[in-house]
Amino acid sequence: MQRLAKKWRRSRTHIGFVPTMGYLHEGHLSLVRAARQRVGQSGKVVVSVYVNPTQFGPQEDLSRYPRDLKRDLKFCRAEGVDIVFAPGDAEMYPVKANGNYSTYVVEEKLSQGMEGASRPGHFRGVTTVVAKLFNLVRPDVAVFGAKDFQQAAVVKRMVRDLNFPVKIIVAPIVREPDGVAMSSRNKYLAGDLRPQATVLRRSIKAVRQTVAAAKQPVPATKLRAIVGQVIKTAPAARLDYVEFFDSETLSPMTKVLRGMHMALAVFIGKTRLIDNGQL
């Protein structure tokens, strides 16, 4: 992959990159289209498919995370992807098994709250693997989805702070007809669990309506109570966190105004889903 990327760069071919963990859906494909739009038909679009173990905690779903490379390749072929880069752990972390791997990339500010607090070590794994993938694919532009809002912010900060020559594009969330954000983990939602996943989007809408109707800043405690009431309408739902924050700094806000952002994580049964939206 790296030799091929260097060859492209020598010929001044622009490279667009979409890093994924596979089990692709329409949300991923929208990122592919955004990458193609950026580099044009004369450029190259690379999609990586790699379930990165360093961003999963010991009790998380690494072993059962959905995988179907044959299906992913079919989707990528239909979208005109030039290269699907699907390495294994032995290629990405060749000396980790014998204890000799000791270098990680750590962002120390934007990664502390929300997903960072709920999933310790998660963002260290994300920034490390993204840095490695950038060094392998050598992209001019990389496209991330807005569903993982904090992740995109952390990657943008890493790129800025470490001088990666990569333009980061954050593409809009793609949703199912009922408003549920598209996610590979939606596959886990069987039977009556799937309709209950709408509580995330409904929580965002309820908060947005409250903030829009208010004539002054709304206390975050009041908004959390509103989210709690929405979550209770789904018997299998359990709130992990909800946060209200400045969309640039990710700083938590105790008083919430229009234009600020919210993000939440909710367990639907055993499946953990995330969503976010501007208020």
**Judgement on whether residues 166 and 190 belong to the same structural domain of the protein:** no
In the predicted model, what is the mean pLDDT of the chain? 96
pLDDT digit string (tens) for 204-232? 999 999 999 999 999 999 999 999 999 99
What's the domain range around 138?
A: 2-171
**Judgement on whether residues 48 and 156 belong to the same structural domain of the protein:** yes
pTM, two decimals, is: 0.95
Last residue of a domain, one of 171, 201, 222: 171
pLDDT digit string (tens) for 86-111? 999 999 998 776 678 889 999 999 99
* Cβ partners under 8 Å of residue 67, min gap 6: 22, 23, 51
pLDDT at 94: 84
**Judgement on whether residues 159 and 247 belong to the same structural domain of the protein:** no
Average pLDDT on 123-151 reads 98
**Judgement on whether residues 144 and 63 belong to the same structural domain of the protein:** yes
**Judgement on whether residues 52 and 88 belong to the same structural domain of the protein:** yes
Dihedral angle over CA of 235, 190, 145, 92, nearest 10: 120
Given pLDDT bands bounded at 50, 70 and 90, which one contains residue 17?
A: very high
**Judgement on whether residues 29 and 97 belong to the same structural domain of the protein:** yes
Catalytic residue IDs: 28
